[in-house]
Structure 1
Amino acid sequence: MTIITTTTTPIVTSFSPMESVALLQWGSNYLFSSSVLYQIIQDKPILGEIMDKCRWNSWNHFQCEVNEGTVKSTADALVSTGLAALGYKYVNIADDCWAEYNRDRNGNLVAKASSFPSGIKTLADYVHSKGLKLGVYSDAGYTTCSKTMPGSLGHEVQDARTFAAWGVDYLKYDNCYNDGSKPYDRYARMSYALRKVGRPILYSICEWGQENPAKWAGSLGNSWRTTTDIQDKWDSITSLADENNVWGRFAGPGRWNDPDMLEVGNGGMSLEEYRSHFSIWALMKAPLLIGCDVRSASIDTLRILKNKEVIDVNQDLLGVQGRKIRSQAGLEVWAGPLSRSRVVLVLWNRSLSRKPITVGWREIGILPAKHVIVRDLWMHSYVSKNLRFRMTAYVDPHACKMYILTPV
């Protein structure tokens, strides 16, 4: 694999012969030949870092109760827990409720005095002093979804300049209370505005998947929501995984399908369910947006969020979204190609009892007679260094096994 380096992040521009074969074995769903990927990079205005997908987002846990102190102490906690060192670099006041209901007399957004008395610029400076980045939220409509602050519809250029002046590094852009015009047009206006401010700002398009943004948002932003809002429930996780799976062929470096934030650590599911949630999101190359209160996160929660081997799958430079290969009676095989001719494999048991799941090498793009090294990413150990043809694992209910397979 050949890579070039921008000022921020290395980018894959061509694949080794074995990597090209591996991608072709995955079929027409993945069209990332070296020339195609190079063209994507040339055509796409880079609004932010190509592989930077690990973040913290305030909404799932705090909703409208977020404030300046929460954001500062969360930034501190990302550093002290070691999460920042693993790539969780963005502290996002997203979604909603951070601004006053009315703009100032010049039409500018104003931070809510009761929640952010020092203002967003001072907060951004604090977050940057920790080696982190700050994200904010707005809406491609007249007001945001909470109806407590103005949207950016009609103020795209002004608001983009404001965000840049404040030192903002990330914008989540929602879809509430708009004028009924096409989402592409509304999201394009903010995309063009962000490109002109002279500052890299990651652009997260939150259109909820209503008009298939995977087909059109890649030319506008760094990620796009493919689903409705996530809930801290097992049925929500499985449903959103299936919805996001449909759009895998449209994702790639710097342009990601987003099945919404992580619920890991918020208390509505078991540890096994949270591991499954984190594993599938990582395999799908989805943005990993922590949605819990990291300041009080349990040891078990941090073990999930800090699994470097799983994070490395999510950040793999090949950038191909893994997909569902097979599903029968709640027993599922998910897999995808990785750099260095490897394959990531998740055996996922959605049923209510412990069951064996078997996968053959041919199903996941490996020649059947190949000897394969199998690494368990949750046990942090090798299952085998010489496995051929297939493998079987017993998987607990609502749990998964996650492996990297390396043909030798």
Structure 2
Amino acid sequence: MRFLQLVTAGTLAPTAVAVFRLAAPLGALVGALAAAATATAVLAPIGARVRFGFQDERRARSSSTLAVLFDLLWMTSMLAPVTTLLAAVGLAVAHRLSLGAACEVGVAGAALVAGYGVLVRRRWVRRRRVELEIPGLPAAFDGYRIVHLSDLHVGSIDRREEALAWSHAANALDADLAVITGDILTTGTAYHDDAADAVGALRAKDGVFACLGNHDYYGEEELCAKLARRGARVLRNEGVAITRGRETLWLAGIEDVWRGAPDLRAALRGRPEGAPIVLLAHNPDFFPRAREAGVSLTLSGHTHAGQLAVPFLVSRATLSHFVTRWPAGLFRDGAASIFVHAGLGTTGPAIRLGAAPEVVEIVLKATPSGRGRPTASGRGHRSER
């Protein structure tokens, strides 16, 4: 928490200057007090905001609204140095450079960007379609459609109503199979029923399956039981055969690498020889082991695409690049592929910029050549609430 406060304090100068200038007509002392009050309003609640996210308990919606509004203020101050620099460059080009004016314009711009990320982009879910050729895929599964969700983080911030909307958006695709690659919850057990309601609303011809993420290991046995009662099966180092006539697609799921004990060998036990494998593994860092074991397609999440990324370059320029080689999107290594879902919910500050939440339709394609060529497309839409 102190580290976050120190980092945030280092970004506060433009905001403090802008507030001082706005209040200065009432007197220099008033301006100074206003700037100090703004700095306090940003720095003091950080500890409480962190605890709010990591000690997720049943809270009134008003508490969640206050947390999101604080995130708006917090992210404005964090983005202000960048937007102030851009404003300074623009004013310099116009030969009207002024430090105070640059701060005012920069903070206003930061507030607009943060407002978009917190209030709009975070709730603007895109539908994405990915077509992927799978070497050795039986003709019976050519065109097989999987709807992929991940990182719902049902809790105080991303509530039951939002999660139900995501499930309804997935159902509209009428897919053959629905999967969730972990982090169904944020923390704790208070929102088990809400999460189960949202996941239980999913529908697919061959069923609904999930794996656990690192945030799900809070009363996970109870969580899995509640999901099962609502028709969703959590694969915990186990697999299931999806059949079309005499042909089989093996769907496997493993425990999370951070909190569980992943056992891919157990997840593949009983697989018919030659059946292509689709693996649900929350953390994409498991991909090398999956590739070595002959897994055709690994579906993961965990990264949230960093939540902050350069628009249209999310697979190349995102905060998640600092923690994994597979930050978001589709990657291929030989005959093996991995798709890393950008997530639907958030952790930490409730913001998304350049890293859209998504409902993904994955279409498996048979290929006689033995080597696939992935293609992807996406379109945005506002979730109906």
TM-score by length of 1: 0.32
Name the one with the larger helix percent: 2
TM-score by length of 2: 0.33
